[in-house]
Amino acid sequence: MYEPPPIVVRRRKRRYFALVLLVVLLIGGWIGFWKYAEDRIERSIDGWKAREARAGRIYECGSQTVGGFPFRFEVLCDNVKVTLTKSHPPADLTAPNIHVAAQVYDPTLLISEIAGPLTYAEAGKQPSYVANWTLAQSSVRGTPREPERVSVAIDGLSVKHVGVAEEPVVDAAHLEIHGRMLEGSARANPVIEISLRSTKLAAPILGAMAAKPTDSEIDVVLRGLKDFSPKPWPDRFRELAQTGGKLEIRHARIVQADTLAVGSGTLTVRDDGKLDGELNVTIAGAEGLINDVLAMNQKKLGFSMSIGLGLLGGGKKLEGRPAISLPLRLRDGHAYLGPVKIADVPPLF
**In-domain check, residue 340:** no
**In-domain check, residue 106:** yes
The pLDDT score that the predictor gives to residue 186 is: 87
Interatomic CA distance for residues 336 and 190, integer angstroms: 31
pLDDT digits (tens, 9 = 90+) for 55-104: 889 999 999 888 887 778 888 999 999 999 988 889 999 999 999 998 87
**In-domain check, residue 46:** yes
**In-domain check, residue 11:** yes
The pLDDT score that the predictor gives to residue 3 is: 60
The pLDDT score that the predictor gives to residue 1 is: 52
Q: Which residues share a beta bridge with 113?
A: 99, 137
DSSP readout, 245-312?
-EEEEEEEEEEETTEEEEEEEEEEE-TTS-EEEEEEEEEESHHHHHHHHHHHTHHHHTS-----GGGG
The pLDDT score that the predictor gives to residue 107 is: 80
How many domains does one find in the chain? 1
Q: Is the pLDDT of residue 347 over 70?
A: yes
Side-chain half-sphere exposure of 163, counting CA atoms within 13 A: 8
* Structural domain boundaries, residue 131: 1-145
Determine how many CB atoms are found less than 10 A away from the CB of residue 117: 15
**In-domain check, residue 40:** yes
More confident residue, 238 or 310: 238
**In-domain check, residue 336:** no
Asked whether 148 and 141 are in contact (CB, 8 A), the reply is yes
pLDDT digits (tens, 9 = 90+) for 316-334: 888 888 888 889 999 988 8
Please, which pLDDT band fits residue 170 given cuts at 50, 70 and 90? very high
The arithmetic mean of pLDDT across residues 110-120, rounded, is: 94
SS3 237: helix
Asked whether 291 and 340 are in contact (CB, 8 A), the reply is no
Percent of the chain residues past pLDDT 70, beyond the cut = 83
**In-domain check, residue 70:** yes
**In-domain check, residue 2:** yes
